[in-house]
Amino acid sequence: MTEAQAQAPKSNLDGAPVIDFDKFRVKPSTEKRRKAKDLFMAGLIALAFVIACLPLISVLYTTIKNGIKRLNLNFLTYNMTGVIGGNQTPSGGYGGVLHAIIGTLEITGGAMLISIPIGVMCAVYLVEYAHGGKLAMTISLLVDVMSGIPSIVAGLFAFSMFTIAFGPGTINGFEGSVALSLLMLPTVVKSCEEMLKIVPNDLREASLALGVTKQRTITKIVLRTALPGIVSGCILAIARVIGETAPLLMTAGFIASTNVNLFSGQMTTLPVYVYQEYSKLSANCPANADATCVTTIPMERAWAAALVLIIVVLVLNLIGRLVAKVFAVKTER
């Protein structure tokens, strides 16, 4: 057989060329190299995951370690009224965080009532009605700009607005809610917008084909389908603002007693409480004080309040997930 005949493509009985699959077979050396690369990339991704988790684990460990020794029922059920230095109070404790918990829940709740309805309706307009128009582009640009506004600027805006409307020196919890709502709004809008976009258009078209109005389609079909994602976005927005300190120092102030009226008087939140206690560093004890006087009590209270704040965020997260699971659209398998 000549060399030309050997190189010619082989053919079967009917004259069609026969494909030589042997030349597509992966060489053992190439396969080993691919497996080595795959193993290297898997290890690199696992290492990146571990590195990303280390700060979170470190923060949780440090907060729990330093805060658990002062976290007790007395700390959770009393405020800072009558606390002097590092002395023990008549209740047997060293001051509490009850007023800060109430202030955090009320101020954050007020911010939620302002920002979540506005944010969801804004996202519905951008996705369901605007369809990329000039107004939609302008709103999206403003939302992106708002997401980069420093928290202190939001506090200054809320303080100035209430000063103009109600006079100089106006400080209350609702003012803090307005400041936090400005920080929450961009996160709510962007997250809800993305969740609404991933709802299949087939659901909208099927609903409209059955004669359902657009408003009812949005409320009963689109929003119900996107509810888990919307709730997750709202939880992210809450986590974004619940730890803010600077705007609340300017708008809600700081007091040692408990104030449950959101619209009158100063209120203390957990981040502000942590800041105030940390600023003290240590407490004064008389020269003849007994062992019940603790000089390091401000730092211990700060760590315990930080742990309470983490627990509050965790509880809100669990509640949000439960709400999303209960009201989400049920699919039969």
Q: Which of 17, 45, 68 is the last residue of a domain?
A: 68
How many domains, the chain? 2
Q: Tens of pLDDT along 98-135? A: 999 999 999 999 999 999 999 999 999 999 888 777 88
Q: Are residues 127 and 255 in the same domain?
A: yes
Nearest alpha-carbon partner for 232 in 204, 205, 262, 198: 198
DSSP class of residue 261? Answer: -
* pLDDT given for residue 293 in this prediction: 83
pLDDT in tens, 63-99: 999 999 888 888 899 888 888 888 888 887 888 899 9
Residues 54 and 137 in one domain: no
Q: Is there a domain that residue 19 lies in?
A: no
Using pLDDT thresholds of 50, 70 and 90, give the confidence band for residue 24.
Answer: low
Domain that holds residue 244: 73-284+291-327
Query: Looking at 25, 44, 68, which one is the last position of a domain?
Result: 68
| Mean pLDDT in residue range 261-266 | 90
Q: Are residues 46 and 154 in the same domain?
A: no
Do residues 97 and 231 both lie within one domain? yes
pLDDT digits (tens, 9 = 90+) for 132-143: 778 888 888 888
Q: Is residue 220 part of a domain?
A: yes
Does residue 52 sit in the same domain as residue 84?
Answer: no
pLDDT on residue 322:
84
Residue 133 lies in a domain: yes
Whether 23 is in a domain gets the answer no
Same domain? 82 vs 215: yes
Among 18, 41, 68, the domain-final residue is 68
Would residue 81 count as lying in a domain? yes
The three-state secondary structure class of 226 is coil
The predicted-structure confidence for 9-19, as pLDDT tens digits, reads as follows 555 555 566 66
Q: Bigger pLDDT: 323 or 40?
A: 40
Q: Do 49 and 108 fall into the same domain? A: no
Percent above pLDDT 70 for the chain: 90
Asked, for residue 239, whether it belongs to a domain, the answer is: yes
Residue for token pair 């109070």: 89
For the stretch 157-170, pLDDT in tens is 999 999 998 988 88
pTM of the entire predicted model: 0.83
Measured distance CA(225)–CA(241) in Å, rounded = 27
Answer yes or no: is 25 within a domain.
no
Q: Is 149 within the bounds of a domain?
A: yes
**What is the predicted pLDDT for the residue at 125?**
92
Whether pLDDT at 185 is above 80: yes
How large is the average pLDDT for residues 279-299?
A: 81
| 207 and 58 within one domain | no
Residue 55 shares a structural domain with residue 143: no
Residue 258 has pLDDT above 60, yes or no: yes
Q: pLDDT higher for 282 or 177? A: 177
As given in the structure block, the two tokens for residue 306 are 């930080």
Same domain, 96 and 192: yes
CATH number at residue 257: 1.10.3720.10
Angle (deg, nearest 10), helices 297-327 and 227-241: 170
| 221 CB-near residues (< 8 Å, 6+ apart) | 199, 203, 204, 207, 212
161 and 46 in one domain? no
Tell me: do 186 and 64 sit in the same domain.
Answer: no
